[in-house]
Amino acid sequence: MACYTYRPLSGPMPAAGDRVQIALTDAGSDALTSRIGPNIALVEGNVVKADSTSLTLAVREIENRRGQRDDWLGETVVVPNQYVRDIQQRRLSVGGTGLLGGAIAAGLVAATAAMGSGSAQGGGSTASAGKQ
């Protein structure tokens, strides 16, 4: 499992396929109510198309102003640029992923050591006696 974080865009416009999180303006939240629901603050999804007037997203998740999140199944929503307060791109968090990987590895080592200490003890070889 990888860890991700949202960071400012690396360029002026996201590319198709990029996973982004859009913070809506108040006017944008109001204008898009019929498409995404009332009082939505954040829209997260994959960019289908981006141009100078709007972003088309395959929406994966929305968050309302209370912080409640709802999953979506990739429904397409067009967000006019005038309604975008901020946009950030999802990126792999190298530090977070490294820490998670280290913790998993340490857990596996500890589990292996614990199972190894419970194995049979004193399993010396038995030599045949009385052979001539």
Asked if residue 18 belongs to a domain, the reply is: yes
Asked if residue 72 belongs to a domain, the reply is: yes
Q: Tell me, what CATH number does 16's domain have?
A: 2.30.30.100
Residue with tokens 């709802």: 70
pLDDT at 2: 75
Asked if residue 70 belongs to a domain, the reply is: yes
Asked if residue 46 belongs to a domain, the reply is: yes
Work out the average pLDDT over 104-126.
57
Number of Cβ atoms within 10 Å of the Cβ of 56? 16
pTM above 0.75? no
Q: What is the pLDDT of residues 116-127, one digit of tens each?
A: 665 545 444 444
Q: Is the pLDDT of residue 6 over 70?
A: yes
pLDDT at 117: 60
Structural domain of residue 12, as residue ranges?
4-91
pLDDT at 9: 87
Work out the average pLDDT over 11-23.
93
Domain count, the chain: 1
CA separation for the pair 77, 81 (Å, rounded): 12
Asked if residue 102 belongs to a domain, the reply is: no
In this structure, the dihedral spanned by the alpha carbons of residues 27, 30, 35 and 40, taken in order and rounded to 10 degrees, is 90
